[in-house]
Amino acid sequence: METEYETIAAPVDAELEISRSRFLTRLERVETESAAREVIARVRGEHPRARHHCSAFVLGADGRVQRSNDDGEPSGTAGAPMLDALVSAGLSDTVAVVTRYFGGVLLGAGGLTRAYRAAVAEAVLGAVRVRRGLRREVLITTAYDLAPQIESEARRRGFGIGAAEYSDRVAQRYLVAESEVAALTALAAEVSAGAAEVRPGEAGYVDLPG
């Protein structure tokens, strides 16, 4: 299982003009196929007069889910090079839609392939990247006077800090890599002289600080 991968922070729009045809690219972050198809449908609705709305998306930490669509362009000249641009950029959980307004000049198969790949590559250049990592949630419950000490040292060591709940004690959530669970557990035990309760929870992908 991949422990880290990259996606984009926010939607990106880019435009290229090649031989009088306009190529409008939209990149968006998505996590499911249905979400990717919603983006494609939305872009299609934004440009009802355009001839083509070609698309590609990559999903999952390992990029296992990959789909592309030529949307009426000659087979293999649009979706595949768009997908290649996303994969080559090392992006996942990302959908690309390229809307083409035909300019009257035929580009040929090679020209189309280069144009669609370039359209996505241009948008990728404008994207802010986010690194995502597999982190396990660890709940540490301890007394009020000890909780800040554990949190301060955890921050110093670069452990992720989650939400806290307060009752008669403090239940603080931490997000750490699998290899760091033992170190966090030892830290809590050392600061609290063994009084802290440490409960590892589920693992999932989270955005990592830049």
Cα–Cα distance, 3 to 52 (Å, whole number): 37
CA–CA distance from 78 to each of 57, 83, 108, 147, 202 (Å)?
13, 9, 12, 55, 40
pLDDT at residue 210, rounded to an integer? 72
pLDDT for residue 106 is more than 90:
no
Tokens describing residue 91: 């992006």
CA–CA distance from 148 to each of 40, 137, 154, 155, 174 (Å)?
47, 18, 10, 10, 13
Angle, vertex CA 61, rays to CA 30 and CA 53, nearest 5: 35
Q: What is the pLDDT of residues 158-179, one digit of tens each?
A: 999 999 999 999 999 999 999 9
Average pLDDT value for residue range 79-97: 98
Domains observed in the chain = 4-127 (3.30.230.30), 134-207 (3.30.70.240)
- Computed over every residue of the chain, the mean pLDDT equals 95
Q: What is the pLDDT of residues 9-36, one digit of tens each?
A: 999 999 999 998 999 999 999 999 999 9
pLDDT at residue 175, rounded to an integer? 96
pLDDT for residue 1 is more than 70:
no
pLDDT at residue 2, rounded to an integer? 79
Q: What is the pLDDT of residues 43-87, one digit of tens each?
A: 999 999 998 999 999 999 999 999 999 999 999 999 999 999 999
Candidates 126, 110, 117, 122; CA nearest to 84 is 117
For residues 196 and 148, is the Cβ–Cβ distance under 8 A? Answer: no
pLDDT for residue 151 is more than 80:
yes
Tokens describing residue 31: 């996590």
